[in-house]
């Protein structure tokens, strides 16, 4: 039996403004008052996990302990088949300390070279942790193909190079509401909401 979220305030265990905004929009219908770990001045824990789920749990537990509030963490990234699943859990690190995702996307494209296999997926793991140590985890996936040159200015991260299966546009070209309906984060959120918010 999943534990239900009952208090109004929820810490989003992230310092990424784009991610915090997207999560806030997804939770808005449930009357959740979100505050980011960055706004609370919480330190970012070192991501030492070897999977998206492990890193999400690590971040959620750290934020819940530090704030005394339930905390939701997301660990997500791009797994490229032609690169053996890279950048995977290192997706943000490929963008470097300055979070230069233009450079990260160029690196993915350069490493792929002439590889005809340009398939990949965005994976999102969500962990909802309480200060008492209880944690619920959920994972979502969206399959797609990588395009070059980049297309679109919407979204964030690797969105301008990712074209989800069954669509003619990249996440970077897609209306945010359309992306929210089909993204890896939306997939994981559907599972989270059904388990903990409804």
Q: What is each CA distance from 59 to 14, 127, 142, in whole angstroms?
A: 8, 8, 23
75 catalytic? Reply is: yes
Annotate 151-179 with b (16+ C-beta within 10 A) or e (fewer): bbebbbbbbbbbbbeeeebbbbbbeeeeb
- Tracing tokens 């959920």 back to the chain, one arrives at 138
Question: N- to C-terminal Cα distance for the chain?
Answer: 13
CB atoms within 10 A of CB 149: 8
Question: Cis omega (within 30 of 0) on the bond before 117?
Answer: no
Burial of 48 (0-12, 13-18, 19+ CB in 10 A): exposed
Q: Quick check: bond before 87 cis, omega within 30?
A: yes
Q: Which of 75, 86, 159, 187 is catalytic?
A: 75
- Active-site positions read 75
């Amino acid at each position: 039996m999943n534990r239900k979220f009952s208090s109004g305030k929820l810490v989003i265990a992230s310092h990424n403004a784009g991610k915090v905004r997207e999560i806030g929009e997804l939770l808005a219908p449930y009357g959740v008052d979100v505050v980011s770990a960055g706004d609370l001045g919480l330190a970012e824990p070192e991501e030492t996990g070897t999977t998206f789920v492990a890193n999400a749990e690590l971040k959620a537990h750290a934020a819940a302990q530090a704030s005394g509030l339930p905390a939701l963490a997301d660990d997500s990234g791009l797994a490229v088949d032609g690169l053996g699943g890279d950048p995977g859990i290192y997706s943000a690190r490929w963008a470097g300390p300055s979070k230069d995702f233009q450079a990260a996307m160029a690196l993915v494209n350069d490493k792929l070279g002439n590889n005809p296999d340009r398939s990949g997926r965005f994976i999102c793991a969500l962990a909802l942790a309480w200060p008492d140590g209880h944690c619920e985890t959920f994972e979502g996936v969206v399959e797609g193909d990588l395009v070059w040159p980049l297309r679109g200015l919407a979204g964030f991260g690797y969105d301008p190079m990712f074209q989800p299966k069954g669509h003619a546009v990249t996440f970077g070209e897609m209306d945010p509401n359309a992306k929210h309906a089909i993204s890896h984060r939306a997939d994981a959120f559907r599972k989270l909401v059904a388990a903990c918010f409804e």
